[in-house]
Amino acid sequence: MNKNSQRMRVGKYELGRTLGEGTFAKVKFAKNLETGQSVAIKVLDKDKILKHKMVQQIKREISTMKLVKHPYIVQLLEVMASKTKIYIVLEYVTGGGLFDKIPENLLVDANGNLKISDFGFSALSQQCRADGLLHTTCGTPNYVAPEVINDKGYHGSTADLWSCGGILFVLMAGYLPFNGYKKINRPGFTCRSFFSAGARRLIMGILDPNPKTRITTEKIYQNNWFKKEYSPPKFEKDLDINLDDIDAVFSESTDYMVTEEKDIMPPAMIAFELLSLSWS
């Protein structure tokens, strides 16, 4: 057994334990060596992305996280790349995920607030066609609006409301409102007996399979059940957003590449490093 251990450095970050792993990416806990800040770094393999023709999807994900600034969305700190990897540096959310019925991209912070952490399957308003509608089929299967599946075009905000309604239902009931794609096109689902009349009306309005009659965001803000104990978040809009580094991460130019280093740790340092890099 090797008595020494290796630690990985990417630019100013030192990588620690794996927080999550999927087919195309790993999420690693890391420390900013300059500030001591804890972060999460999503590591993607360039060859896999190119092989599976996912370049545009990754660009959409990064673009979305750069454009959307909100206290309940995990903050994108920076994007880096090496010859073989793409590193997406994100805010580290300490609370972890929810139970298995909720999408994996919903996390809970230290204050119990929900945060969206991933926009891998997203569509931007710039992708609207001449009819003014989006036609990209994307989303988490159990939470996709009927009009997205029907592939006839949809308004992104209206479809997102449906997904939020599904999440709200699961948070309250503990199970999905619909089992199977065919059922979401028909109105009707069973609420738990303890749902208040106000909650039932709101959820039924959100989970209306007809996007033309589905409740709007404006109406939700006026809803008495929604307004109860609701405090709107305070945040500043960032109007100066640079998207140049999105294309740069796929560039072959070394001007944009970050250095990767592996340091050998002596045995005496291993225990300390494991504790510090695994802390959450």
The predicted-structure confidence for 166-218, as pLDDT tens digits, reads as follows: 999 988 998 888 876 656 766 678 888 999 999 999 999 999 999 999 999 99
Q: Which residues are annotated as a binding site for ATP?
A: 42
Residue 187: the pLDDT is 63
C-beta separation of 77 from 255 below 8 A? no
Give CA angle at 147 (191, 209), nearest 5°.
30
Instruction: Give pTM, 2 decimals.
Output: 0.76
Percent of the chain with pLDDT over 90: 35
Q: Which residues are annotated as a binding site?
A: 42
Residue 130 in tokens = 């001449």
The pLDDT mean for the chain works out to 80
pLDDT tens, 22-79? 888 899 999 999 999 999 999 999 999 989 888 888 888 888 888 888 899 999 999 9
Please report which confidence band the pLDDT of residue 122 belongs to, taking 50, 70 and 90 as the band edges: very low
Distance CA 226, CA 155 (A): 23
Residue 261 in tokens = 């280093």
Please report which confidence band the pLDDT of residue 82 belongs to, taking 50, 70 and 90 as the band edges: very high
Distance CA 259, CA 221 (A): 48
Report whether pLDDT(86) > 80. Answer: yes
The domains of the chain, with CATH numbers, are 10-95 (3.30.200.20), 123-229 (1.10.510.10)
Per-residue b or e along 76-108, where b marks 16 or more CB atoms closer than 10 Å to that residue's CB: bbebbbbeebbbbbbbbbeeebbeeebbeebbb
C-beta separation of 124 from 64 below 8 A? yes
Report which of 115, 121, 95, 166 is spatially closest to residue 22, judged by C-alpha positions: 121
